[in-house]
Amino acid sequence: MRYKYETHMHTSKVSRCARSTAVEQVRAYKNRGYAGVIITDHFINGNCNCPRELPWKQKMDFFASGYEEALAEGKKCGLDVFYGWEYCIRGTEFLTYGLDQAFLLANPGFDKLTAAAYSALVRKSGGYLAQAHPFRDDSYIDYKLPVAPYLLDGVEIYNASMPASTNAKAAAFAKQHGVCAQAGSDSHHKDFPAPSGIALDKRAESIFDIIAAIRENRAELLINTL
């Protein structure tokens, strides 16, 4: 039996670019036969709905609200929901797993770090980071290439929202530098046509089971799965 997990998805309350609520997203993935999802809303230094003038704690409470709504719905319908985020540095984005609300509250102002400083903080704190959709070419991205591989734990080599040519470049980069490979949908709405992610042969009891599977190359990458 395979247990499917979405590794990259957004909710409309927190991510400005999303069009479906946390509840709608959870129900959609449950209906697709997924075992769980990682909520990776855009952090406050990216395309986030969080009011910029709020104090840090209120910003973090707002940011967590998409995950908390998803978690509550997941408990009702039997879908596991894990906490993550998509950190932005001048348009370059990093999926971050394994850290929690306590980490966010304990690090006020960490939304202004460089890639090197962010990588060091995440790893020192026991987290995992993967560059999302490297080689993405959009006007808002200052650096349209992956960051130095030593700053990364993983690379999203398949993003269901990206062209095949962009994903191919990411896959070649990961293979060349020995960086962990992962796949995800980058889903912004409940009717996402071809959800992706990973599949495990054992149900994850925590986000760290998912991280370990990616690190140890035990995660099957879901490519254009329906």
Amino acid identity of residue 213, one-letter, is: A
Does residue 124 register a pLDDT over 80?
A: yes
Pairing verdict, β 197-200 and 220-222: antiparallel
- State both tokens at 212: 């370990």
For 12-35, write each residue's pLDDT tens digit. 999 999 999 999 999 999 999 999
The residues with which 15 forms a beta bridge, in sequence order, are 48
Q: What integer pLDDT is reported at residue 224 of this predicted model?
A: 78
Q: What is the mean pLDDT of the chain?
A: 95
- State both tokens at 149: 């591989």
Distance CA 59, CA 85 (A): 14
Domains and CATH numbers, the chain: 3-222 (3.20.20.140)
Does residue 72 register a pLDDT over 60?
A: yes
Distance CA 180, CA 103 (A): 24
Q: Of residues 224 and 217, which shows the higher confidence score?
A: 217
Does residue 107 register a pLDDT over 90?
A: yes
Amino acid identity of residue 202, one-letter, is: K
Residues 6+ apart with CB under 8 A from 19: 12, 188, 189
DSSP helix, strand, coil percent of the chain (3-state; round to 5): 35, 25, 40
Question: Of all residues in the chain, what percent carry a pLDDT higher than 90?
Answer: 91
